[in-house]
Chain A
Amino acid sequence: MKKSIPAKSFPWLVVPPAAALIFLFGVPLLLVFAVSFATRGTYGGIEWTFTLANYISIADPLYLRIFWRSLWLAVLTTVICLLMGFPLAYVIARAPKRWQGILLFLVIIPFWTNFLVRTYAWMFILRSEGLLSTVLSALGLTREPLTLLFTDTAVLIGLVYGYLPFMVLPLYAALERLDPSLIEAAWDLYARPHQVFVRVVLPLSKPGVIAGCVLVFIPSLGAYVTPDLLGGARSMMIGNLIQHQYLVVRDWPFGSALSFVLMAGVLAALLYYLRAGGARSL
């Protein structure tokens, strides 16, 4: 029997985090929500005149294209992270115990450096006279300098790079719990390697797959730094659009409306994903 301290005995422990969430997250969120129904003032201020115009103007094809690109890039990032992260997590989970710690440590080492700095490093790698282009042409693999920087591909590379650890860690946690004798049992019962994977390993690591996908998809969809530095003006994502509305165009009501649509979209996608994942669990 496990002994646990009932949460009820220390109600006051909940007060600080609850207060922080209410005043630092809930209140600003409500403010943004209120602003999204206001009107932009002549010189960029807020006029408290109720309007739905902000939400209606999102339907503009220009903005819809940015939404679509963000969604597409986020989905692609999640899929690539899953495809790359699964074998990596599997190898780490099956490695000898003393190696597991070292390998996990290597996975999280990039977090030691500021994300912005690491993204700048990618600019050096990806630009036309950059590391990748130089190496590839020196090897004779490309004749012309690569034009990777400021494209969707550059954004995708940056996103996959940035969020891969968020996929690997939950996958590792799920695969580490997987009893190796189950894999042997499937093998003993005539399953070929791909059948062992599809029928036993994948279903039993599903909680890790779901967690990893959620952790990669959500920040990818709202990414700001990566598309700003690697995508430039041509490869804008929703995050950049919102920033643009707030700080450049100074249309706070429209920026707020965009933020809320993004949030609602993430919530809807998440619910759909979890519902679909849950239904398939048996």
Chain B
Amino acid sequence: MDGVSADASVVMREVTKRHGTTVAVDHLSLSIRKGEFFAILGPSGSGKTTTLRLLAGFEQPDAGEIIIEGQPMQGVPPNHRPVNLVFQNYALFPHMTVAQNVAFGLEMKGLPSTEIGPRVAEALEMVRLVGKQDRLPSQLSGGEQQRVALARALVNRPAVLLLDEPLGALDKQLRLEMEVELKALQERVGITFVCVTHDQEEALTMSDRLAVMHHGRLLQVGTPEEIYTAPASAFVASFIGVSNSLPGRVQTIDGQRATVAVEGIGLVHAPVCAGLRAGAPVLVTIRPERLHLSRDPATDGSQNQIRVRIAKAIYSGSEMHYLVTLPNNLTWKARVPNADGTAKRFDAGESAYLKWRTTDAVLLPE
């Protein structure tokens, strides 16, 4: 990982945290830039929540170092850190009104009440809760409670805002709206956001950069596009979205193009990946939306093609979702846009040619 750059907001160096005998966070090194929306993505138990709690100060690392805004955080309790956390269940104080909840941090900081009033009003306006300031949290909808939690944290103007599964408790429609709203809010306030989530779509939509965690380790850090188009491992590829894969063995490497022998199918071409050598076992992965289906075989050699049988055809509005069976009995998923109404759709049981451009495949060392 790179050294401490001047624009780093959060730096973690070789941070390790154990819970009993399990290693929750394992030698994690990470640098988060000022003003970026950074997502930490991982399945439950991957250590992402522990990472967030280490940043908030609720837990202390067993080894390693955490630096926030240039200050080492060793032994600094949560109430003295320049960060605020938006809790997964919001953790709004049930005995206080919306305004009292939002004012809490400023009161504890000892700001004069003449300053607290306007700042609370400003924060409530920012999250569109004007007029609800005298309600109790229990009188608000889930989405409104979420916005109170955001306002309660942002009103303190922290250097870093930590969000623990911020949209997890909302229904799908509201979640999609809030993804956009949260991103817009982050750009407006310019505060570093560190958001923990298990939802890859959420992470890809909102973040400037994201980290994928698994078993306490950091697997890959990059922009959503980098992670999506060039996953560094089979786990990242499968976790970041449904990905089709074929296990094979590298036969020849010709410049930027590798030829992989796949049992039961034949030869498949793909761009080379780092450290690839002939004879090595690899996984050829290809995303469902990069696949094409056709009734006629391809004539040009820049494409891979496999003859498949359509196992299932599912209409889902803008796209068709096909499950296709490969000659080696693997099942792949293909997503074909329904843009052209005249194009004939395939029905289950039909045979078809499955094609994809060589450059759309990603090789992963196994």
- Could you say which residues of chain B place their CB within 8 Å of the CB of A190? 79-80, 105, 108-109, 156
- Chain A residues, Cβ within 8 Å of B77: 187
Query: In the bound complex, do residue A185 and residue B79 qualify as a contact, i.e. CB atoms below 8 Å apart?
Result: no
Interface residues of B in 82-131 (CB under 8 A from A): 83-85, 87-89, 91-95, 104-105, 108-109
**Contacts A181-B87, A184-B58, A186-B104; is A191 near B79 (CB within 8 Å)?**
yes
Q: Interface code A183-203, partner B: CB below 8 Å = 1, 0 otherwise?
A: 011111111100100011001
Chain A residue nearest to B95 (CB atoms) is A203
A189 and B95 contact, Cβ closer than 8 Å, known pairs A179-B89, A181-B89: no
- Note all chain A residues with C-beta closer than 8 A to B58: 184, 187-188
Is B56 part of the binding interface, using a Cβ–Cβ cutoff of 8 Å?
yes
A185:B91 contact, CB within 8 angstroms: yes
Smallest Cβ distance from A175 to chain B, in angstroms?
15
Closest A residue by C-beta to B104: A189
Q: Which residues of A contact B85 (CB under 8 A)?
A: 184-185, 188
Chain B residues with CB under 8 Å of A199's CB are 104
Residues on B with beta carbons closer than 8 Å to the beta carbon of A182? 91, 93-94
| Residues of chain A with a CB closer than 8 A to B108's CB | 186, 189-192, 195
Contacts of B88 in A (CB 8 A): 181
Q: How far is the CA of A142 from the CA of B16 in the complex (A)?
A: 54
Closest to B88 in A: A181
Q: Counting CB contacts under 8 A, is B214 at the interface?
A: no
A179 to B57, CA, bound (A): 18
Chain B 14-38: CB-based contact to A (< 8 A → 1; otherwise 0)? 0000000000000000000000000
Q: Chain B 290-329, CB within 8 Å of chain A: the 1/0 string?
A: 0000000000000000000000000000000000000000
Bound CA span A200–B345, Å: 61
A204 within 8 A of B: yes
For B198, the chain A residues whose CB sits under 8 A away are none
- B323 CB, nearest partner CB in chain A, Å: 38
Could you name 6 residue pairs across A and B whose Cβ atoms are closer than 8 Å?
A: A182-B94, A184-B78, A185-B92, A188-B84, A189-B84, A204-B94
Complex Cα gap A187–B156 (Å): 14
Name, among B83, B84, B89, B93, the residue most crowded by chain A CB atoms within 10 Å (CB to CB).
B93
Interface string of B41-75 (1 = CB under 8 A from A): 00000000000000011100000000000000000
Task: Tell me which residues from 187 to 244 in chain A have a Cβ below 8 Å from any Cβ of chain B.
Answer: 187-192, 195, 199-200, 203-204
B152 within 8 Å of A (CB atoms)? yes
From A200, which residue of chain B is reached at the shortest CB distance? B93
Contact A184 B79 (CB under 8 A): no
Which A residues are CB-close (under 8 A) to B56?
A: 184, 188
Chain A-chain B contacts (Cβ-Cβ < 8 Å), number = 61
Q: Which residues of A contact B95 (CB under 8 A)?
A: 203-204, 281-282
Complex interface: chain B residues within 8 A of A281 (CB): 95
Further pairs besides A184-B91, A185-B93, A191-B79: 5, Cβ < 8 Å: A185-B87, A187-B78, A189-B156, A191-B104, A195-B108
The answer to whether A192 touches B79 (Cβ under 8 A) is yes
Residues of B within 8 Å of A203, CB to CB, are 95
Interchain residue pairs A-B with the least CB separation, the first 7? A189-B105, A190-B108, A185-B91, A181-B91, A191-B108, A190-B79, A187-B78
Contact residues of B between 185 and 219, Cβ < 8 Å to A: none
- Cβ of A98 to closest chain B Cβ, rounded Å: 15
Residues of A within 8 A of B89 (CB): 179, 181
Residues of A within 8 A of B152 (CB): 189
Residues of chain B contacted by A188 (CB below 8 angstroms) = 56-58, 78-79, 83-85
CA distance A204 to B93 in the complex (A): 9
Q: Determine the residue in chain A with the shortest Cβ distance to B58.
A: A184
Which residue in chain B gives the minimum CB-CB distance to A192? B79
B91 A187 Cβ-Cβ under 8 A: no
Within 8 A of B (CB), among A261-282: 281-282
Q: How far is the CB of B95 from chain A (nearest CB, A)?
A: 5
Q: For B105, list chain A residues within 8 Å (CB).
A: 189-190
Q: How far is the CB of A177 from chain B (nearest CB, A)?
A: 11
**A200–B105 Cα gap in the complex (Å)?**
13
Write the chain B residue with the least CB distance to A185.
B91
A174 to B167, CA, bound (A): 29
A191 to B107, CA, bound (A): 9
Measured in the bound complex, the distance between the Cα atoms of B91 and A200 in whole Å is: 11
Minimal beta-carbon separation of A202 from chain B (angstroms) = 10
Complex: chain B residue closest to A182, CB-CB: B91
Distance of A257 Cα from B193 Cα, bound (Å): 71
> Complex formed: what's the CA distance from A192 to B80 in Å?
9
Question: In the complex, are the beta carbons of B79 and A187 less than 8 A apart?
Answer: yes
Residue of A nearest to B97 (CB): A282
Complex Cα gap A281–B94 (Å): 12
Residue with the highest number of chain B CB atoms closer than 10 Å, among A179, A189, A191: A189
- For A282, the chain B residues whose CB sits under 8 A away are 95
**Residues of B with C-beta under 8 A to A181:** 87-89, 91
Question: Bound state CA distance, A186 and B77, in angstroms?
Answer: 12
A190 vs B79: C-alpha distance in the bound complex, in angstroms? 4
Q: How far is the CA of A184 from the CA of B53 in the complex (A)?
A: 10
CA A201 – CA B87 in complex, angstroms?
A: 18
The CA-CA distance from A208 to B104 in the complex, in Å, is: 24
Q: Which residues of A contact B104 (CB under 8 A)?
A: 186, 189, 191, 199
